[in-house]
A = this chain, B = another copy of it.
Amino acid sequence: MRIAVDALGGDEAPEEIVSGAVAAAKRLPEDEILLVGNEARVSKLLGSGRPENLSLHDAGNAVGMEEEPASALRARPDASVAVAASMVRSGDADAIFSAGNTGATVAAALLRIGRLEGCRRPAIATVLPFSSPVLLLDAGATTMCRPQDLLNFAILGSVFAERYFGIESARVGLINVGEEPGKGDDLAKESHALIRNSGAVRFVGNVEGRDIGSGEADVLVTDGFTGNVVLKTAEGVSREIFSMLRSTMTASAVTKLAAAILRPRLMKMRNHLDPEQYGGSFLLGVKGSVVIGHGNSQARGVENALLGISRAGAGLSDALQQALDSAHAAPAGGGA
Contact = CB atoms under 8 A, between A and B. Distances in A.
Instruction: Give how many copies assemble into the complex.
Output: 2
Interface stretch (A195-203, A225-233, A317-325): A225-233
A130 B240 contact: yes
7 contacts: A131-B240, A177-B224, A177-B232, A185-B225, A209-B236, A229-B229, A259-B262
Interface stretch (A5-13, A83-91, A265-273, A282-290): A265-273
A255 B244 contact: no
Contacts of A244: 131, 269, 272-273
Q: Lowest 8 CB-CB distances: which A-B pairs, in order?
A: A209-B232, A209-B233, A210-B236, A258-B258, A258-B261, A210-B232, A177-B228, A213-B240
A131 B238 CA distance: 13
Which of A226, A240, A243 has the most B CB atoms < 10 Å from its CB? A240
Interface residues of A, number: 57
Contacts of A237: 213, 233-234, 237-238, 241
Contacts of A230: 209, 229-230, 233
B261 A248 contact: no
Nearest to A177: B228
Given A131-B244, A240-B131, A269-B248, A209 B229 contact: yes
A212 interface: yes
A177 B222 CA distance: 14
A56 interface: no
A214 B238 contact: no
Which of A224, A242, A261 has the most B CB atoms < 10 Å from its CB? A261
Contacts of A330: none
A67 interface: no
Given A209-B232, A248-B268, A255-B265, 7 more contacts: A143-B177, A210-B232, A210-B233, A244-B269, A251-B265, A258-B259, A259-B262
